Chains A and B, each alone.
Chain A
Amino acid sequence: MVSICFYFQVHQPFRLRKYSVFDIGNNSDYFDEHKNREIMHKIARKCYLPTNKLLLNLIKEFKGKFKVSFSISGVVLEQFERYAPEVLHSFRELAKTGCVEFLNETYYHSLSFLFDKEEFKEQILLHRKKIRELFGQEAKVFRNTELIYNNEMANFVQSLGYKTILAEGADHILGWRSPNYIYTPKTADRMKLMLKNYKLSDDIAFRFSNKGWKEYPLTVDKYAQWVSAANGNGHIVNLFMDYETFGEHQWEDTGIFDFIRHLPGEILKHPDNDFVTISEAAERYDSVSELDIHNFVSWADIERDLSAWLGNSLQNAATTELYRVGKLVKGVGDPKLIEDWRKLTTSDHFYYMCIKWFSDGDVHKYFNPYDSPYEGFIAFMNALNDIVIRTRGIKKKHQEAGVKNKGNGYAEEGTDSFSQSFLSEEPSESLLDIDMSFKK
């Protein structure tokens, strides 16, 4: 018996506009409203709406035998609400079928676990609330941004009450083991760990339209055979991918929609196969062993590690300063400021600063709204500077009004990471001089 587990990741960041140094202190509009709206409309049309409709039809056609799971980031949900409410509506229709499970992640799709566990927790709780409000589900499954995972994280997530967690079935962590079984995370023995079958997932997500691939064209019966081959070699086949695969990464004319339309029928022809949600898989099957994953693993790039976001000193400087500033921000307790800061924690901003892509011209480049990683860095740091100025401004106002500032021990002016010579009294003049405390 083989249970197929489809899990789709839905996410779009709030992209920054070309925020310049002259905007600092004058204009706190960091995000490119126009571009974000335009992109949302495009993707809604090409992907979200048609694919949701397709899945809804399949669920009805197979009378509950076809099931899928989603994780939808908080920031993309906000963009649905703002720019494309019909997409939100179609996800809610899917929720109503009872055949769709919604997972939790960090609301802002951030790397916060690596820098500030308190923030990580807060973002998860925000997401939990949002999913409950919109879809009426209390999520039992957690996945971290870009499937970043290690033992320690599993342990932390377990303490928040989740029963199942996802990770990438990368070769270097599996070794001889198969992703088609459920495992127990070391240090989190009350949870179940499910790993992406990257070969079968990427066959659809990446290789589907590649004419140079030896298996091209991928037909439904060929793929169903591969999936069924797991029979006797595993319990589950975890097909985890970006939802934008359908219509955006793989355009309609590749035949991707027809493929998905006919796949469930083909797979269900084999009486031993069925479709499950993540939680159903976790309930049905036992873990076969413990899995010890000490170093972080992710589903990004060839390396499947953190290098897509933290591989170079630009990314390191940006993330270090971001979280340092975060403590300042939370100290003054202004909700709009915190929200703006949180939108900067989205992992995509750092993905765009990756220098690796110059040599490959690969996936990083396709979605990069900037001409180069350097431009992305400059816009980000300028925006962060403006956050600092706003923070100081609010703090000053509170001091004048005699309001107590929350928290203590946050970094004041004159901490050694801010060079004295570039600070001045009036907020509109000062510029951060970011010390590269991260040595290569």
Chain B
Amino acid sequence: MEKEGENNLRVLMLGWELPPFFAGGVGMVCSLLSKALCQEGVELTYVMPFGPRMVRSDYMKILVADHLFPRMRFKLQEVETLLGAYATPESYDEEFRDYLLSLSPRDRAKALYGPNVFQEAYLFARKVRLIAQHEDFDVIHAHDHWTFPAAIAAKEATGKPMAVHVHITEFDKTGGVSVNQRVYDMEREGMHKADLVIVVSNFIKERLINNYGVPEGKIRVVHNAAEAMDKWVFHDASKIKEIDKIVLFIGRITLQKGPDYFVEAAKKVLEKDPNVKFIMAGTGDMLTRIIERVAQLGIADKFIFPGFITRDEVAKLNKIADVFVMPSVSEPFGLVPLEAMWQETPAIISKQSGVSEVLNHVLKVDFWDVNDIANKILALLHYRSLHHQLKHHGFTEVRNMTWEGPAKKCIQVYNELMNRGR
């Protein structure tokens, strides 16, 4: 139910691309959180980065079409930028080069974007400052470090209190190795200049205290929730399903997500039960190495690599899978197991994740404990009552994890921010 406002809270939110534009986890969270905040009566001015590749149709119409973003309470401010939620200095350089090459030689002198990602972040900040000076709002809420300079600029221009929302840190992305100093500095500056810092898990809270020097009293934990999805109705019985059980991994094939532990566990599972197929859906810098390792172990015929998959395919795979595994080395939250549980598939998740702090009806493992991962996969595949219980209780659990919870907590943070000023 939409709440009619006496004094509605007004929030300037600096977020990332909303669906239907592919936005990964952060965009998904921004979208779900924004919707829930509007449901709670918050008036949102949402600053969204708009890159050269995004189709300039009436985006606002798309967003309000299904009444999930009530027009009265949601205002979109597009800002032309080459920044993306997952940009790295290296990926930005590539994108910028591509952009330059797409321009005619004469136009290249008038390039719209900064020559490197840090410059672009400051250009973006200048644009956001202008917006901030012309908008009415009570608080600023900024997601992830590329928006932090903009958030600081908006705060300084308007004097309004500001919260940053940390979904992931440079530390977690790189596993603590090869941390980019300038990125780190930008993250740190945002956290220190913010009035409050919102994090998605206690896991990240500890990271901020230990590695970024953020005082504990400044941090507020707001766990993510699950997205309400349609249950996939499975009509065609796939050939694989007739004989084999399916164990599923969905995520970027990169260090942070622990794909190598998945493969080692698979080997152990197959030693006990050869009738299992392993699906790893995703792409990433470790993909080639993983495929090679699978071949080396002699289990290539048990593995399937679908590559990049759409949201629909995610739902379908989750539905047909018997077990879902998230062996992440370091996961700030981890939305993927929630999607599996929503499709009534039991999940095995790494204890080194934020989501393990809020779930009960899952099996938890240390990511490095390959024996335990295999042990639990086999238990789920062979003990039917275990599979049954986790399937049903897991589904009920995620169904109750709505975004109303995090939205209300954010509102508490906003109120706290406003009261501090007084």
CB distance A374 to B385 under 8 Å?
no
Q: How many A-B residue pairs have CB under 8 A?
A: 74
- A313 touching B382, Cβ below 8 Å: no
| Contact indicator per residue, chain B 373-403, by CB within 8 Å of chain A (1) or not (0) | 0111011001111101110010000000000
Q: Taking CB as reference atom, which chain B residue is nearest A25? A: B272
A20: which B residues are within 8 A, CB to CB? 371-372, 375
Chain A's nearest CB lies how many Å from the CB of B237? Answer: 18
> A429 to B272, Cβ gap below 8 A?
yes
Determine the distance from Cα of A241 to Cα of B66 in the docked complex, in whole angstroms: 61
A372 at the interface (CB under 8 A from B): yes
| B211 proximal to A (CB < 8 A) | no
Q: Of the listed stretches A119-127, A292-300, A375-383, name the one at the interface; the rest are far from the partner chain.
A: A375-383
Given A20-B375, A358-B360, residue A374 in contact with residue B382 (CB < 8 A): no
For residue B173, which residues in chain A have a CB less than 8 angstroms away from its CB?
A: none
A366 at the interface (CB under 8 A from B): no
Q: Is the interface of B mostly helix, strand, loop or mixed?
A: helix
Q: Find chain B residues with CB under 8 A from A381 CB.
A: 379, 383, 386
Given A358-B360, A371-B364, A312:B389 Cβ within 8 A: yes
A interface residues, how many (CB within 8 angstroms): 30
Chain B 131-144 near chain A by CB (<8 Å), digits 1 or 0 = 00000000000000
Question: Per-residue 0/1 for A354-380: is the Cβ within 8 Å of any B Cβ (1 yes, 0 no)?
Answer: 010010000000000001101101100
Closest to B360 in A: A358
Report Cα–Cα, A422/B382, bound state, in Å: 9
Is there an interface contact between A374 and B374, defined as CB atoms closer than 8 Å?
no
Q: Of B273, B360, B386, which one neighbours A431 at CB under 8 angstroms? A: B273
- Is the CB–CB distance between A434 and B385 below 8 Å? yes
> With A355-B393, A431-B272, A431-B273 as given contacts, are A377 and B386 in contact (CB-CB < 8 Å)?
yes
**A22-B371, A313-B389, A378-B376 as given contacts; A436 in contact with B384, CB under 8 Å:** yes
Answer yes or no: A316 CB below 8 A from chain B CBs. Answer: yes
Bound-complex Cα distance A378 to B386 (A): 8
Nearest CB on B from A440, distance (A) = 9
A358 and B376 alpha carbons, distance in the complex (Å): 20
Contacts of A355 in B (CB 8 A): 389, 393
Residue A21 interfacial (CB < 8 Å)? yes
Residues of A within 8 A of B386 (CB): 314, 374, 377-378, 381
Please tell me if A433 contacts chain B, counting CB pairs below 8 Å: yes
Q: Of all chain A residues, which has the CB nearest B363? A: A374
Contacts A358-B360, A378-B379, A381-B379 known; A434 to B384 CB distance under 8 Å? yes
B382 near A431: Cβ-Cβ < 8 Å: yes
Q: Is A61 an interface residue (CB 8 A)?
A: no
Residue A204 CB within 8 A of the other chain: no
- Which residues of chain B come closer than 8 Å to A438, judged between CB atoms? 385
Q: Are A434 and B383 in contact (CB under 8 A)?
A: yes
Please tell me if A224 contacts chain B, counting CB pairs below 8 Å. Answer: no
Task: Tell me the residues in window 201-257 of chain B with beta carbons closer than 8 Å to chain A beta carbons.
Answer: none
User: Which residues on the B side are within 8 Å of A378 (C-beta)?
Assistant: 375-376, 379, 383, 386
- B: interface residue count bin: 20 to 34
Near A by CB (< 8 A), chain B positions 100-143 give none
Residues on A with beta carbons closer than 8 Å to the beta carbon of B268:
22
B345 to chain A, nearest CB (A): 15
Instruction: Let me know if A432 and B382 touch, CB within 8 A.
Output: yes
Nearest Cβ on chain B to A360's Cβ, whole angstroms: 12
Whether the Cβ atoms of A317 and B374 lie closer than 8 Å is no
Q: Which of A18, A318, A358, A431 contacts B378 (CB 8 A)?
A: A431
Q: How far is the CB of A369 from chain B (nearest CB, A)?
A: 15
A280 is an interface residue with CB less than 8 A from chain B: no
Given contacts A372-B364, A432-B382, contact A21 B272 (CB under 8 A): yes
- Within 8 Å CB of B364, what residues of A? 371-372
**B92 CB, min distance to chain A CBs, angstroms:** 42
Asked, given contacts A355-B393, A358-B360, whether A433 binds B376 with beta carbons under 8 Å apart, the answer is no
Closest to B378 in A: A21
When the two chains form their complex, are residues B384 and A374 in contact, meaning their CB atoms are under 8 A apart? no
- The answer, yes or no, to whether A435 is at the interface (CB within 8 Å) is yes
CA A314 to CA B346, docked complex, whole Å: 15
CB neighbors of B among A238-291 (8 A)? none
Give B338-383 interface residues, CB cut-off 8 Å to A. 360-361, 363-364, 371-372, 374-376, 378-379, 382-383
Residues B264-287 near A (CB distance < 8 A): 268, 272-273, 275
Given known contacts A355-B393, A382-B379, A21 and B374 CB-to-CB distance under 8 angstroms: yes
Cβ contact of B385, chosen from A314, A371, A421, cutoff 8 A: A314
How far does the Cβ of A19 sit from chain B's closest Cβ, in whole Å? 9
Q: Which residue of A lies closest to B393 (CB)?
A: A355
- Asked if A21 and B379 make an inter-chain contact with CB atoms under 8 angstroms apart, the answer reads yes
Known: A313-B388, A382-B379, A433-B383. 17 other contacts (CB 8 A): A18-B372, A20-B372, A21-B374, A22-B272, A22-B375, A314-B385, A314-B389, A316-B385, A374-B386, A374-B389, A374-B390, A378-B379, A378-B386, A381-B386, A382-B375, A431-B378, A434-B382
Give me 10 A-to-B residue pairs in the complex whose CB atoms sit less than 8 angstroms apart, sorted by A's number: A22-B268, A312-B389, A355-B393, A372-B360, A378-B375, A378-B386, A382-B379, A433-B383, A434-B382, A438-B385
Q: Give the B-binding residues of A (Cβ under 8 A).
A: 18, 20-22, 312-314, 316-318, 355, 358, 371-372, 374-375, 377-378, 381-382, 421-422, 429, 431-436, 438
- Chain B residues within 8 Å of A, Cβ to Cβ: 268, 272-273, 275, 360-361, 363-364, 371-372, 374-376, 378-379, 382-386, 388-390, 393
Please provide the 3 A-B residue pairs with the shortest distance between their CB atoms, ordered closest to farther.
A317-B385, A20-B375, A378-B379
